[in-house]
Structure 1
Amino acid sequence: MKKLLVSLAVLIVIALVLIGRIDRTPIHSTEEYKVTMDNVHETVKKLNKAIPSQDTLLVGWSSECIIPKGEPLPLAGYGFRGPYRMVRDSLYARAFSFDDGIRESIVLTLDLMIFPIEVRKRLETKLNTIGLTTDDVMFSATHTHNGMGGFDPSAIGNAAMGLFSEVGTNKITEASFKAIVEARKHKSKGSVGFLKSESPEWVNNRIVHNGRKENSIRGIKITREDGKNAAIVTYNAHPTNIEMNYWILSRDYPGAWVSYLEASDKIDFAAFCAGMVASHGPADPNHNHDCFSRLENMGKVLSDSILNIWDKTPTQAVVNTIIQKTPIDFRPSQVRIEKHLKVRDWVFRSASGGLEGDITLLKLGNINWFASPSDISGEIAIDYEYDKLVKQKNEHFMLTSFNGNYVGYITCDAYYDTLESFEIREMNWVGPEYGAYFGDIIKELIEN
Structure 2
Amino acid sequence: MLLFFQSCIVQPIDTTPPEQTDYYRKTVAQIEQAKLDTTAGDTLKIGWAKVNITPPPPAPLAGYGKRLGLKYKEVHDSAYVRTFAFDNGQHLAFLVTLDMLITPMELTKVLEKQYSKLGLKPQQVYLTATHTHTSFGGWGKRIGGRMMAGKYKKKLVQQAAEHVLQSINQAQANLEATRVGYGYANGAPWVYNRLTGSATARDTTIRFLKFEKKNGNTAILCTFSAHPTILPSMQPVLSRDYPGVLVDQLEKQVNFAAFAAGAVSSHRSNYQHGETFKSVEEIGHALAEIVLQESATVQLTYTNQLNSVRIPLSLPKPHWRLGDEHRFAPGLFYTFFGKYSAYLSSLQVGETVLLGTPADYSGEFMTQLEQQAHKQGQHMVLTGFNGGYIGYIVPDEHYQLKKYEARAMNFYGPYSGSYLTQMLLQLLRLHQ
Match of 1:374 in 2: 359
CA contact (8 A) 2:232 2:275 kept: no
Deviates most, 287-296 or 254-263: 287-296
**Partner residue in 2 for 1:444:** 426
* CA displacement at 1:424 relative to structure 2: 0.6
Opposite residue 218 of structure 2, the aligned amino acid is N
> 2:8 — aligned with what?
17
Q: Secondary structure at the match of 2:417?
A: helix
Residue 173 of structure 1, CA deviation: 1.0
Query: RMSD over aligned Cα, in angstroms?
Result: 1.5
Residues 1:421 and 2:409 are matched in the alignment: no
Q: Output aligned runs, 1:99-118, within 5 Å.
A: 99-118=87-106
What SS does the corresponding residue of 2:177 show, helix, strand or coil?
Answer: strand
Counterpart-to-counterpart distance in 1, 2:147 and 2:297? 48
CA distance in 1, matches of 2:327, 2:371: 38
Structure 1 residue runs of 4 or more that deviate by more than 3 Å after TM superposition: 11-14
Deviates more, 1:84-93 or 1:344-353: 344-353
Specify the alignment match of 2:187 in structure 1. 199
What's the counterpart of residue 79 of structure 1?
65
**Secondary structure at the counterpart of residue 232 of structure 1:** strand
Question: For 1:5-404, what aligned pairs fall within 5 Å after superposition?
Answer: 13-43=4-34, 46-47=35-36, 50-53=38-41, 55-69=42-56, 72-81=58-67, 82-211=70-199, 212-264=201-253, 267-284=254-271, 287-289=272-274, 291-354=276-339, 356-382=341-367, 384=368, 386-404=369-387
Cα contact 2:187–2:204 (8 A) shared by 1: yes
Q: Is the 8 A contact 2:55 2:136 kept in 1?
A: no
Per the alignment, residue 6 of structure 1 pairs with: none
TM-aligned CA deviation for residue 13 of structure 1? 4.5
Q: Which moved more, 1:74-83 or 1:344-353?
A: 344-353
SS in 2 for 1:263: coil
Structure 2, unmatched stretches of 5+, are: none
State the shift of 1:200 in Å: 0.3
Aligned-partner SS, 1:129: helix
The SS at the match of 2:172 is helix
Larger radius of gyration: 1
Code of the residue aligned with 1:226 in structure 2: it is N
Amino acid at match of 1:92: Y
8 Å Cα contact 2:64-2:147 kept in structure 1: no
Q: CA deviation at 1:300?
A: 1.0
Task: Give the AA of the match of 2:273.
Answer: N
Q: 1:401, CA displacement in angstroms?
A: 0.5
Change (3 A) 1:360 1:290: closer
Q: Distance in 2 between matches of 1:192 and 1:313?
A: 9
What's the counterpart of residue 412 of structure 2?
Answer: 430
Which TM-score applies when normalising by structure 1? Answer: 0.92
**Is the 1:379–1:412 Cα contact (8 Å) retained in structure 2?**
yes
SS in 2 for 1:218: strand
Q: 1:275, CA displacement in angstroms? A: 0.3
Letter in 2 for 1:373: P
Q: CA deviation at 1:388?
A: 2.4
| Equivalent residues of 1:330, 1:356 under 8 A apart | no
Q: Distance in 2 between matches of 1:73 and 1:153?
A: 15
Structure 1 position 447, deviation (Å): 3.5
User: What code does the residue aligned with 2:269 have?
Assistant: P
Q: Which blocks of at least 5 consecutive residues in structure 1 are unaligned?
A: 1-8
Aligned partners of 1:216 and 1:252: how far apart in 2? 19
Query: Given that residues 330 and 355 in structure 1 are in contact (C-alpha distance below 8 angstroms), is that contact kept between their aligned partners in structure 2?
Result: no
The alignment of Structure 1 onto Structure 2 pairs a total of residues equal to 427
Residue 3 of structure 1 corresponds to none
Measure, in 2, the Cα distance between the counterparts of 1:375 and 1:355: 16
Secondary structure (helix, strand or coil) at the match of 1:398 reads: strand
- Aligned-pair distance for 1:318? 2.2
Which deviates further from its counterpart, 94-103 or 73-82? 73-82
Deviations 1:25-45 (CA, angstroms, capped at 9, x unpaired): 1111111111111112122xx
Task: Report how far residue 317 of structure 1 moved.
Answer: 1.6
8 Å contact from structure 2 (residues 105, 340) kept in 1? no
| Closer/same/farther in 2, CA of residues 345 and 147 from structure 1, 3 Å limit | same
Given that 1:120 and 1:134 are in contact with CA atoms closer than 8 Å, whether structure 2 keeps it comes out as no
Counterpart residue type for residue 239 of structure 2: S
- State the AA in 1 paired with 2:205: S
1:340-369 Cα offsets, whole Å, 9 max, x none, are 111111222233232531111111111011
1:284-333 deviation per Cα after TM superposition (whole angstroms, max 9, x unaligned): 3xx22362111111111111111112222112222221110121111111
1:163-201 C-alpha deviation (Å, 9 max, x unpaired): 101121122111111111111112112121112111100
- Structure 1 residue 423: deviation in Å? 0.8
Code of the residue aligned with 2:249 in structure 1: it is Y
